């Protein structure tokens, strides 16, 4: 198949979280399976300097953006057979220190930046020799693409338009802007309705995509169910439960070529399921690097995370603080909300040798923490998929997770299956529940046979991307099998509602 992916982050070129990992791996493994794959992503600052093989592509991007006319360029790289990355160059929008934010918060022209990007995606989808059959969009930054394609389908002679799908990586980020920003799309105003991009008077990029993409998916089966409820739906639960074709939940995978313990340049020593001695060496090396007491026998809890409420950073801070009278250690690598950064930093300052906090983003250290820790703590309030718990399973570092979203789908607790147990789950998003889970972990730690059982079970779980790419492939095939005429939804909410009532009676 010919497939074009579009994303605002792509590992190894740009990344703030799991989105970059996921799309990078999806592209790589679809290409390995013989599909012709393109990925469109912005050319952020520093990419050209770091990846010297990127070449200028003879392609001019030139579109109206509201009343302005904006130009851009395209650069390409072929990192492997069957895969081409198209970097959208627009220095005013993308040559900045951050991806979405600067030092004073979100950039105030994010609507302009990602509408320009979305127009570039549509232009490439339509005119590249690749002629994609599927355009696979990711998150709110690409949410307007289906509407932009629709306009060219209806009025611009693009009758054989590709099928498009949108994957939700995190429903909490919707791309909500003042309604006036819709004009930047240059789409007719009658495309802006409650059946598309309009949400309580504002412009909502993600909602536009959910309502108009041929298929919507998300990154775990449990999250796919959760987002149909008010607790997790972030206001879009009824939009999601009304979709013609239900949201598909496909659990992310792990790129084991990168996230492994036996051939990993970042680790102090290789190890594997039958040789856990190497893990001990990694623990001692990590303790040394972080300035923790070098004690192989003291249980070391670790976490690598964006420091935001979603990840339960506040729960973690309180629960860890309450356990520091015991012989434990805690190490955190993270970046995010200044309140959490300060909270963790001051915990480290008052507990030297026991608590180590690194504020920042450090890819190599992330690997070392996964390898050197005894338990990985991930008390997320919600988690669409979560990758770190899957990495930690492979690294023999049992995860302690809240029983939600992709955490529920990827970790096996003793209550799920005593034979296959590989981690610890807790239900309530409260400090007390997390504390209890940490105590359970300490009991496991004191019992070497049980600890070994958890570690080995975790290291043997197979989240290989080959399986995940095959699931996307069958989703694409199902989409292609549906006639285009059945996929077009009416833009007028009244007509849409009448059709729905007719269907249900």
Q: Which residues bind ligand GLC (CB under 6 A)?
A: 17-19, 22, 169-170, 219, 252, 383-387, 406
What residue 361 binds from ligand ADP, ligand GLC, none (CB within 5 to 8 A, per partner kind)? ligand ADP
Residue (70 or 251) nearer to ligand GLC, CB: 251
- For 94, phi then psi, to 5°, come to -115, -10
DSSP codes, 9-48: -BTTTB-SSHHHHHHHHHHHHHHHTT-EEEEEEE--TTHH
Does residue 320 sit in helix, strand or coil? helix
Q: How far is the CB of 302 from ligand ADP (least distance, A)?
A: 11
Q: Which is nearer to ligand ADP, 266 or 490 (CB)?
A: 266
- What whole-number distance in Å separates Cα of residue 280 and Cα of residue 328? 16
Length of the chain, in residues: 505
Closer CB to ligand ADP, 212 or 264, in the complex: 264
Per partner kind, with CB cut-offs from 5 to 8 A, the member of ligand ADP, ligand GLC, none near residue 388 is ligand ADP
Tokens read off for 272: 């594997």
CB 334 within 8 A of CB 305: yes
194 or 405: CB nearest ligand ADP: 405
Q: Which does 304 bind (CB under 5 to 8 A by kind): ligand GLC, ligand ADP, none?
A: ligand ADP
Shortest Cβ 387–ligand GLC spacing (Å): 5
Closest separation between CB of residue 365 and ligand ADP, Å? Answer: 7
CB of 19 to ligand ADP, least distance (A): 6
- Decide if 16 contacts 100 (C-beta within 8 A): yes
Residue 219 interacts with, from ligand ADP, ligand GLC, none (CB under 5-8 Å by kind): ligand GLC
Q: How far is the CB of 209 from ligand ADP (least distance, A)?
A: 19
- Of 363 and 480, nearer to ligand ADP (C-beta) is 363
Residue 397 CB, nearest approach to ligand ADP (Å): 13
Q: What tokens appear for 159 in the block?
A: 């009758």
Supply 350's token pair: 């008052």
Q: Which is nearer to ligand ADP, 381 or 489 (CB)?
A: 381
Cβ closest to ligand ADP, residue 367 vs residue 455 = 367
Residue 333 or 414 having the CB closest to ligand ADP: 333
Do residues 9 and 41 touch, judged by C-beta distance below 8 A?
yes
Least spacing, CB of residue 306 vs ligand GLC, in Å? 8
Kindly report whether the peptide bond that precedes residue 12 is cis, defined as omega within 30 degrees of 0. yes
Give the binding site for ligand ADP (CB under 6 A).
Answer: 17-19, 21, 304-306, 333-335, 361-363, 366, 385-388
Closer CB to ligand ADP, 335 or 490, in the complex: 335
Collapsing DSSP to helix, strand or coil, 478 comes out as helix
3-state DSSP call for residue 186?
coil
Between 123 and 220, whose beta carbon lies closer to ligand ADP? 220
Residue in the structure block whose two tokens are 């703030």: 16
Residue 226 partner contact from ligand GLC, ligand ADP, none using kind-dependent CB cut-offs of 5 to 8 Å: none
Q: How far is the CB of 277 from ligand GLC (least distance, A)?
A: 31
Q: Which phi and psi angles does 420 have, rounded to 5°?
A: -105, 5
DSSP character string of 338-369: HHHHHHHHHHHHHSTTTEEEEES--HHHHHHH
Count, in order, helices (H) and strands (E) of the chain. 18, 20
Nearer to ligand GLC, 222 or 252 (CB): 252
303 binds, among ligand GLC, ligand ADP, none (CB under 5 to 8 A by kind): none
- SS3 category, 120: helix
Out of ligand ADP, ligand GLC, none, which partner does residue 215 contact, by CB within 5 to 8 A per kind? none
Is residue 324 within 8 Å of 346, Cβ to Cβ? no
For residue 194, the partner it binds in ligand GLC, ligand ADP, none, with Cβ less than 5 to 8 A by kind, is: none
Q: Which does 305 bind (CB under 5 to 8 A by kind): ligand GLC, ligand ADP, none?
A: ligand ADP
| SS3 track for 427-475 | CCCCHHHHHHHHHHHHHHHCCHHHHHHHHHHHHHCCCEHHHHHHHHHHH
Q: How far are the Cα atoms of 196, 277, 349 from residue 495, in angstroms, in the given order?
A: 13, 66, 61
State the nearest-atom distance from the C-beta of 244 to ligand GLC, in Å. 24
Which does residue 214 touch among ligand ADP, ligand GLC, none (CB within 5 to 8 A, set by kind)?
none
Q: Which residue lies nearer to ligand ADP by CB, 137 or 304?
A: 304
Q: Residue 186 CB: number of other CB atoms within 10 A?
A: 15
Q: State the minimum distance, in angstroms, from the CB of residue 405 to ligand GLC.
A: 7
- Torsion angles phi and psi, residue 272, rounded to 5: -155, -175
Q: In the block, which residue shows the tokens 């320009």?
A: 116
Residue nearest to ligand ADP (CB): 18
Using Cβ positions, the residue closest to ligand GLC within the complex turns out to be 18
Buried b (16+ CB within 10 A) or exposed e, 16-32: bebbbbbbbbbbbbbbb
The least distance separating ligand GLC from the CB of residue 166, rounded to whole angstroms, comes to 13
The least CB distance from residue 337 to ligand ADP, in Å, is 13
């Amino acid at each position: 198949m010919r497939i074009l992916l579009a994303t605002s982050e792509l590992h190894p070129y740009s990344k703030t979280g799991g989105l970059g990992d996921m799309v990078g791996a999806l592209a790589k493994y679809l290409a390995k399976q013989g599909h012709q794959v393109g990925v469109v992503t912005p050319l952020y600052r520093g990419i050209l300097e770091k990846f010297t093989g990127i070449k200028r592509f003879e392609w001019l991007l030139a579109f109206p953006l509201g009343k302005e006319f904006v130009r851009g360029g395209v650069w390409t790289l072929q990192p492997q057979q069957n895969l081409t990355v198209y970097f959208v160059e627009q220095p005013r929008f993308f040559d900045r220190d951050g991806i979405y934010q600067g030092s004073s918060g979100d950039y105030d022209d994010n609507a302009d930046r990602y509408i320009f990007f979305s127009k570039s995606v549509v232009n490439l989808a339509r005119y590249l020799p690749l002629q994609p059959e599927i355009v696979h969009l990711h998150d709110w930054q690409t949410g307007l693409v289906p509407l932009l394609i629709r306009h060219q389908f209806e009025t611009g002679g693009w009758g054989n338009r590709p099928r498009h799908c949108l994957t939700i990586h995190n429903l909490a980020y919707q791309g909500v802007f003042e309604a006036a920003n819709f004009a930047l799309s240059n789409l007719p105003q009658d495309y802006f309705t409650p059946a598309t991009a309009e949400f309580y008077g504002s412009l909502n990029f993600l909602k536009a995509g959910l309502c108009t993409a041929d298929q919507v998916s998300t990154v775990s089966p449990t999250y796919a169910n959760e987002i149909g409820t008010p607790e997790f739906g972030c206001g879009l639960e009824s939009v999601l439960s009304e979709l013609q074709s239900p949201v598909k939940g496909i659990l992310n995978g792990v790129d084991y070529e990168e996230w492994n313990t036996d051939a990993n340049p970042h680790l102090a020593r290789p190890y594997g399921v039958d040789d856990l001695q190497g893990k001990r060496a990694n623990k001692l090396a990590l303790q040394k690097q972080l300035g923790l007491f070098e004690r192989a026998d003291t249980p070391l809890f670790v976490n690598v995370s964006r420091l935001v409420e979603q990840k339960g950073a506040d729960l973690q801070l309180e629960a860890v603080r309450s356990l520091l009278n015991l012989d434990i250690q805690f190490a955190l690598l993270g970046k995010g909300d200044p309140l959490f950064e300060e909270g963790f930093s001051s915990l480290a300052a008052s507990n030297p040798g026991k608590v180590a906090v690194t504020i920042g983003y450090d890819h190599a250290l992330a690997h070392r923490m996964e390898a050197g820790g005894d338990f990985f703590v991930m008390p997320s309030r919600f988690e669409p998929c979560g990758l770190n718990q899957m990495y930690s399973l492979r690294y023999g570092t049992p995860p302690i997770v809240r029983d939600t979203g992709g955490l529920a789908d990827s970790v096996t607790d003793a209550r799920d299956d005593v034979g296959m147990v590989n981690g610890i789950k807790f239900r309530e998003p409260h400090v007390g529940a997390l504390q209890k889970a940490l105590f359970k972990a300490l009991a496991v730690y004191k019992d070497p046979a049980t600890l070994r059982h958890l570690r080995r079970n975790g290291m043997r779980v197979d989240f290989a991307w080959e399986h995940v790419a095959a699931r996307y492939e069958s989703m694409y095939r199902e989409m292609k099998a549906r006639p285009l005429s059945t996929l077009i939804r009416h833009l007028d909410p009244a007509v849409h509602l009448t059709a729905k009532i007719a269907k249900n009676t």
